[in-house]
Chain A
Amino acid sequence: MDVELVEIQEFLASHPPFDKLPPETLERLPKRLSVRYIRRGSVFPPLDADQPYLYILRRGAVELRDAQGDLVGKLAEGDLCDMACRLGGNAVPMKGSTAEDTLVYLLPCTDLTALRAQHAHFAEHFDQSVAHRLRRALDAVTNAPASGAGLMTLRVGTLINRALVTATPETSIREAAQVMAEHNISSLLIMVGEHLAGLITDRDLRKRCLAAGLPSDRPVREIMTERLETVNVDTLGFEALITMTRLNVHHLPVMSGGKVAGILSTTDLTRFQSSNSVYLVGDVHHAKDLDTLIEISSKVGELQVHMVNGGATADQVGQAISAITDAITRRLLEIAEAQLGSPPVPYAWMVGGSQARREQTSYSDQDNALLIADHMKPEDDAYFAALASIVNDGLNACGYVYCPGDVMARNPKWRQTLRIWKKYFNTWIQRPEPMALMLSSVFFDLRPVHDPEGLFEEIHDQVLNLSKDNRIFIAYMAANAVKNRPPLGFFRNFVLIQGGEHDHTFNIKHRGIVPIIDLARVYALSSGITETNTLERLRTAAGINALSKDGAANLSDAVEFVGTLRVRHQAGQLRRGEKADNFLSPDELSPLERGHLKDAFLLINAMQESLAQRYQTGRIN
């Protein structure tokens, strides 16, 4: 059968899930189809069908409404309607009607069943569980890095040299240095039998021995680092990198079944990454002045591009970039203190929003506040005002632009004593009002980045204790969290918004990520969970109160999937020398990604519905 119906075959081949069928099946498929033409305004699927069919839209548009008559979806060219094939299952009763004159291809449901039985990848598309589809989409995204294999997929075990070079605590520093020189290594594991006792590095030899004037015949025990973070051979290269970034260390012992398997150094990791977050953080620690910090922070965009190329997920990008912002903030505080002298009373520098959640991408703005010990005197404020200005201006110069809502330490309102802060939170939680809700995303995601005296803990405990059992406050937070609804899906090259409106682009952060962040915050506050990071909140809240284990896992998948699309979108812009933003056009998405995004939206919507019901938010809004 030569040229027959080649165009219909090509049409099918370019639309999921038919693109998953092998060519020989695809070639026979057009012959299984029939064609119908349905005028605008007609019932869809048509009532006079001689048997149940899967409908494939070739031209035209179909609107789907739920039992209440609300628009739940809109189909266009290449979209499928398998409603009739799902009867008896957990099909959602929906009413369709053609919004345009529509030409459809009909495949008998019996044929669909046979195809699903024979072709697993094809069948996945019809998997009735949105959660399963999303899980697979996420796996696909994380397993297929944008370019090449990277640290995302490699385990630490494959990166290390397994030949262990060790010494005992009683070895002399000189001997240890000789061993390191002999093996040309920059660190040495200190062992007592099979037990890891400590680690020495080049830096320790320099700082704790030579610079400190310690005789080299002293035992290494005196200069070794004893309290060690370790990673496992199964740890992903990336997680190890983030641990190093967070701790600002260049070496990590690698364990396997409780035994030391080797040592991982940044050099092992940098083979895979040219612009490395560990080095950026290291550079920040050594930066002498603001200009150097500005130069370092200009590489953050490049880091995001590299990480995305390496297959990093949104969480990994967020962790790495937030670690750098933390380091820059701390360095600016050091610079400010060096300039202004020691603080008159202890203080804590608190960060809010995405930095607090460790979910920053390059070019996030700054949200911060100062928490000052209660015994400060009125005249001390001049010191903290000056400190805040130096840090706020410095961050702004580094690309973390001033917070548009003025939530910054330089604002006197957010530079207060512990007592005032406790009063603030007390008011927000006990007498919830719109202002508190507006600030909620900033101040209910709060974390100290510099807090030598541990001032923050008291606030934190208070917030959790007050909010946990305050059902009214949680209901207000919930009402706020369900206000921002995700889009319904896509229609042609438009985003389909609740109520049936279309848009050319959509803000993927506000529409797809913020709703999950807001949900996670409610779950965390209602269960007294201390985490600020959205994934950690979901993980910890799973199975408690409002959040089922499945719900938590599904939302985690959704936020990772949507977030990863976002960091990729931004990386694409940065690569092209454009400014990174959150505005995604459906044109940028593959049909498959659109399908998965739509799944994520559905899921968010369902979780919002269930939260709304639980807290009766309808009575608040």
Chain B
Amino acid sequence: MFFVPSFLDWRRQWQRLRARPGPLRDYLAHRLPRTDQDWRAADYLAIDLETTGLDTERDLILSVGYVVMHGNRIDLASARHRVVRIDRRIPEASAVIHQITDDQSAGGLELADVLAELLPVLAGKVMIAHHATIECGFIGNACRRLWRAGLPVRVVDTQVVAHRTFERRQTAFKSSDLRLHSLGERYNLPRYSAHNALSDALAAAELFLAQAAYRETGDWLPLKKFLW
């Protein structure tokens, strides 16, 4: 079949030319998943970050958690949780949420090493995140700083999928209904009490499985229905 590159694929090619040699350029050498394939045929990487705040320019990544999904099956063997070393004190306001201490952070890895481990896994896969602007923003910025190019990636944002579902069904909802754990309860998903990047990444993966299962009709369901 003739492959028609999407806009994102053009961006990928362009970034590849700009990128310094390294893990990002290797990532960019892989094609992005096709959007017209059945969602069960694609591979995914569900990811969550803990950060010092919400400003993608000034705040820092503290930890990264991710897990790979082959079609409709989450592969727990691929689950990773990495704490990142940062060059400043962790603000108390964020520490209450992610509970990463300065000591733990000091024992963490360099962000470049964490990304060098992540990018080959992400290559060729669709990223799943809940409120993905955070993940895309922080990782994209880190890539630009480290390797001089952005990170084109196909994204399923489970929050956006939920938002669309509410609107399609014309259900009234509050913004708190769009939180990862509230949505999980709606779909009878387990509630993970530990709040860390990996358990949230896993929760997002499970949420996507549930959302997709609810869209299933047994027929072919293209990936693009879920992309943002």
User: Residues of A with Cβ closer than 8 Å to B?
Assistant: 1-8, 11, 30-39, 48, 50, 58-60, 100-103, 106
The B interface, classified by DSSP as helix, strand, loop or mixed, is: mixed
Number of residue pairs spanning A and B whose beta carbons lie under 8 angstroms apart:
74
Rounded to whole Å, the gap between the CB of A74 and the closest CB of chain B is 16
A103 and B188 form a contact (CB under 8 A)? yes
14 contacts between A and B (CB under 8 A): A4-B79, A4-B81, A7-B194, A11-B190, A30-B79, A34-B73, A34-B74, A36-B72, A36-B73, A37-B72, A37-B189, A60-B188, A101-B188, A101-B210
B52-95 to A contact mask, C-beta < 8 Å, 1/0: 00000000000000000000111111011100000000000000
Q: Assess whether B199 is interfacial by the CB under 8 Å rule.
A: yes
A5 and B213 form a contact (CB under 8 A)? no
Residue of A nearest to B68 (CB): A34
From A5, A50, A106, name the one whose CB has the most chain B CB atoms within 10 angstroms: A5
B190 and A32 form a contact (CB under 8 A)? no
Rounded to whole Å, the gap between the CB of A391 and the closest CB of chain B is 61
Residue of B nearest to A1 (CB): B81
A38 and B213 form a contact (CB under 8 A)? yes
A31 and B79 form a contact (CB under 8 A)? yes
Separation of A467 and B205 alpha carbons in the complex (Å): 67
Q: Which of B188, B193, B198, B205 contacts A5 (CB 8 A)?
A: B198
For the A-B complex with A30-B79, A37-B187 known, give 4 more contacts whose Cβ atoms are closer than 8 Å. Answer: A7-B192, A33-B76, A34-B73, A35-B209
Cβ < 8 Å to A, chain B residues 78-119: 79-81
User: Residues of B with Cβ closer than 8 Å to A?
Assistant: 72-77, 79-81, 187-190, 192-194, 196, 198-199, 202, 205-206, 209-210, 213-214, 216
Q: Which of A2, A31, A100 contacts B76 (CB 8 A)?
A: A31
B76 and A59 form a contact (CB under 8 A)? no
B196 and A3 form a contact (CB under 8 A)? yes
B190 and A37 form a contact (CB under 8 A)? no
A39 and B214 form a contact (CB under 8 A)? yes
Q: Which residues of A contact B73 (CB under 8 A)?
A: 34-36, 50, 106
Separation of A59 and B203 alpha carbons in the complex (Å): 13
A3 and B189 form a contact (CB under 8 A)? no
A4 and B80 form a contact (CB under 8 A)? yes
Separation of A149 and B156 alpha carbons in the complex (Å): 61
B76 and A36 form a contact (CB under 8 A)? no
Please judge, given known A-B contacts A4-B81, A39-B213, A39-B214, whether A59 and B190 are in contact too, CB under 8 Å: yes
Q: Which residues of B contact A102 (CB under 8 A)?
A: 188
Separation of A6 and B192 alpha carbons in the complex (Å): 10
Q: Which residues of B contact A2 (CB under 8 A)?
A: 81
Rounded to whole Å, the gap between the CB of A49 and the closest CB of chain B is 9
Please judge, given known A-B contacts A39-B216, A103-B188, whether A34 and B75 are in contact too, CB under 8 Å: yes
Q: Which residues of A contact B213 (CB under 8 A)?
A: 37-39, 101
B193 and A7 form a contact (CB under 8 A)? yes
